Chain A
Amino acid sequence: MSYLVLGFCVVWVCHFAYLFVLDRQARQLGRRLDARISGASERT
């Protein structure tokens, strides 16, 4: 039973870890876009 639980935990941890990495990259990109837009509006 413990091996079964371990197996399912590994799967869910791997899936959520990768989703977390993608989410962090999306937020980072959003911040860079915001900075660029605010920089552009300051110049004009």
Chain B
Amino acid sequence: MRRLLLALAFLLLIASTWIGLTQGQIDPVQRNILYVHVPNSVCALLCFVVVLAASVGYLATAGQTWDLVATAAAEAGFVFATILNATGMIFSRAEWNVWWTPSPRLVTSALLWFLYAVYLILRVSLPGGQRRAARLCAVFGIVAFLDVPLVYISARFIPDIHRPNFSLDTAWQTAALMLGMAGTALLAAGLIWLRATLLRDNLKLEQELLY
């Protein structure tokens, strides 16, 4: 099932890239980065919403599944946030001739990457038992989420070099973006599922070895 999900995600991503670079090409050519930048950015933010929900769930119930889901979503979200920042920098260089500039959207996006990098470092380095680490990470996961709405609203309410939104001209362009969104969302779901299962099996094995 997981393999099917990942295979379907990659098929959709290939279809999105193909349509985006043929029928739905945006002019000038470097703006076609939008077909990967936008879906990966949206999925990064969605993964961090999952981290928030799972962190609240863990603090409310102390159920281990919540903790595993939060870890898996944070890892997947970090990968998407890396792509968000990298493709954003490449687009910025092509469009505005600078790799990075301290605009509100770019600063909050960079901060997002660092916050979840810290989250992942905390996950593996906190001393004092698994339950204590999970509790502290859940608290950090909730605090780190405060940056997510800032990323979303920064370009909308503060004057910014980054556009708050964009419009597509043709149905092919919309189709390419929607396929990209669907493919990236399926990929995110597949990655979180796969990672959470691996974490659960690892934990089970370790507990069996202990007793």
Contact = CB atoms under 8 A, between A and B. Distances in A.
Interface of A: 1, 3-4, 6-8, 10-11, 14-15, 18-19, 22, 25-26, 29, 32-33, 36
Interface of B: 6, 17, 29-30, 32-33, 36-37, 40, 75-76, 79, 82-83, 86-87, 90-91, 93-94, 187, 191, 194-195, 198, 201-202, 205, 208-209
13 contacts: A1-B29, A3-B93, A3-B94, A7-B36, A10-B83, A10-B86, A11-B40, A15-B83, A18-B75, A18-B191, A22-B194, A25-B198, A29-B201
A10 to B, nearest CB: 5
A28 B142 CA distance: 32
A41 B75 CA distance: 36
B79 A14 contact: yes
A18 B79 CA distance: 7
A6 to B, nearest CB: 5
Contacts of A22: 191, 194-195, 198
B190 to A, nearest CB: 9
A13 to B, nearest CB: 9
A29 B209 contact: no
Contacts, number: 64
B93 A15 contact: no
A29 B55 CA distance: 26
Contacts of A32: 205
Nearest to B6: A19
Contacts of B205: 29, 32-33, 36
